[in-house]
Every structure is written in C-alpha cells, then in structure tokens.
Amino acid sequence: MSRLTSFLLLAFVCLTFTSGSYAKQNYKVISHLIDSFLEFDDNTETYNGFVVDLIDELNKKLHFTYEIVLPPDNKYGSYNPSTKKWNGMMGYLLDGQGDMIIADLTDTIKRREVADVTTPFLSTGLGIMYHQVTRQALPFSNLDELADQTEVNYGTVNHGSTYEFIKRGKNETFVKMANYFEQHPEFLVNSVLEGVEKVMTSNGKFAFIGEGVAYYVLKKQRYPELILVGETFFPRHFGIVFPKGSKNKAKFESALTELREAGVLDELAKKWSLN
C-alpha cells in the first residue's frame, strides 16, 4: 500500500468517526414540576429552573444530550410494601423509564437500598411553615412545642421523606407526631405546594413540616407572608439518583465535584432563591 493510499484511508476513517459513528450519549432525566427547581413555560414550550441550569453546567463537562421526563403522578417516590412497588420519580427510575433523577428528591436510607446517589448538589433542612394572622405570640416555637400543643393542626406530604423520617423516629416528639398523623390523615397532603396552600388558607390553624428550601422558594414567588418558625433542623440532601450499579454515576460525581469547588452550585442555588 502506497503512502498516499494509507493517508487517504486514515483520513476517511477519521472523517467517518467524527461525522457519524460517534454520537453524544442521550440521557432521559427524570424530574417533576415545582417552583424554581423545574418550571414549564407555556409560551416557549420549554423548561427552565435550577434543574435545567444544573444539567447545562454538567453538559459543559460531559457533553451529552438529554430529554426531561415527568412521572404522571408527579410524586417524589415512596415504597408500597403491599405491591412491592415504588411510585413517583423513584418508580419511574426503577422501571427503566429514565437514566437518572435530578430533582428536590431527598437522599434517604430507604432510597439508597435500591438506587445509587451522588454527593449533594444542594442541602437544606426541615422547617415548620406557618402563617401568623395575629400579633399575638406564636403558639409554638419549635417541633417539640408543635407536637405538644392542640391549637394548631399540622401535617406533611403523605408518605414523603419527611413523613417516613418522623414515622421511624424513636424520640417522644416523633412518636407523638407519628400517632397524630395516624389519627388525622386529613392533614397529610399530596405535595409541598398543597401543604403550603393549606397553611395560607387555614387562618393560622395549620402548620406544614417540609424541607426549608420549599419555604425560600414559595415565600419569594407566591406567599410573602409565609414564615419559617425557628431554624431549620435535621439536614436533608439532594443528589443525582441513578439505578443501582449505574456506570454513569462516577463521571457525574466527578463533574459535580468540579462544579461545587468552582462555586457554581452555590451560584445556581442563589439564582433560583434556594438558600
């Protein structure tokens, strides 16, 4: 084979590789609609929010294409012992409907039993959200006092991570609250937004327990009179969730670390009022 022929063959192989045989990996990213994290613009028919910005930053390092998929029930993901099935985003992931979850999905022991989770891209804590309608002193100032009083009802997302966290708790306050939820299922809601809406329409008679990040978002975007009673407690973390044993976790973990060290994650959280 002549030198010219060899050169032309090599050039052809390189051209074929770069123009057709190599394609960017396409990922199905599972998420759900919630203020600031992921929103849908009806005018442009596009998604925006923290999740989209985070994916775009990861894409700068990993070079992939993606599509966002939403579970029909819009739930986070809880396990049903009777059916042995997960619902929500976790169910979608485990059923093979997507490659990863990027959302405000709390990293829990139960979820780690069936999935792999990166280090956090965002951390928060639980908080008590309330609407004070009088100038009188608050009827409670912390979780213990909330559980002890009877003037204000309280609830959380039914079978969500906060509900399961309280239900598994062994201290006196958690036992009281778990019993209260059993006796008053009417105060358990289907979503964070539903819970906060209940707070704002109950004339000071309902408090919602949920992740503090929801407070910051909803106070700014919807309910300026919403208050957070005391400080947040019991740290919660959001990481990217992959199917157990996924080969993709390591490279996304590495990219997240770079974004964290460069301050990009903090900038995105600030941009979308998540802290």
In this prediction, residues 233-240 reach a mean pLDDT of 94
Distance of CA 105 to CAs 81, 132, 137, 160, 162, Å? 20, 29, 34, 10, 11
Verdict on whether the full-model pTM lies above 0.75: yes
In a domain, 1, yes or no: no
pLDDT confidence of residue 275: 78
In this prediction, residues 260-275 reach a mean pLDDT of 94
In a domain, 9, yes or no: no
Looking at the 3D structure of the chain, how many domains does it have? 2
Q: Quote the percentage of the chain above a pLDDT of 70.
A: 92
Question: Is 60 exceeded by the pLDDT of residue 22?
Answer: no
In terms of domains, do 131 and 224 share one?
Answer: yes
Residue 137 · residue 148 · CB < 8 Å: no
Closest C-alpha to 137, from 210, 229, 243: 229
- Range 172-176, long-range pairs (CB < 8 A, 24+ positions): 173/143, 173/144, 173/147, 176/147, 176/148
In terms of domains, do 114 and 152 share one?
Answer: no
In a domain, 33, yes or no: yes
- What mean pLDDT, rounded, does the chain reach? 91
In this prediction, residues 243-252 reach a mean pLDDT of 97
In terms of domains, do 244 and 113 share one?
Answer: yes
In this prediction, residues 215-221 reach a mean pLDDT of 91
pLDDT confidence of residue 23: 66
pLDDT confidence of residue 2: 53
In terms of domains, do 145 and 244 share one?
Answer: no
Domain span at residue 156?
Answer: 125-235
In a domain, 266, yes or no: yes
In terms of domains, do 170 and 203 share one?
Answer: yes
In this prediction, residues 242-270 reach a mean pLDDT of 97
Q: Is the dihedral of CA 117, 170, 163, 149 positive or negative?
A: negative
Question: Is 90 exceeded by the pLDDT of residue 136?
Answer: no
In a domain, 20, yes or no: no
Question: Is 50 exceeded by the pLDDT of residue 158?
Answer: yes
CATH number for the domain that contains residue 260: 3.40.190.10
Higher pLDDT, 133 or 240: 240
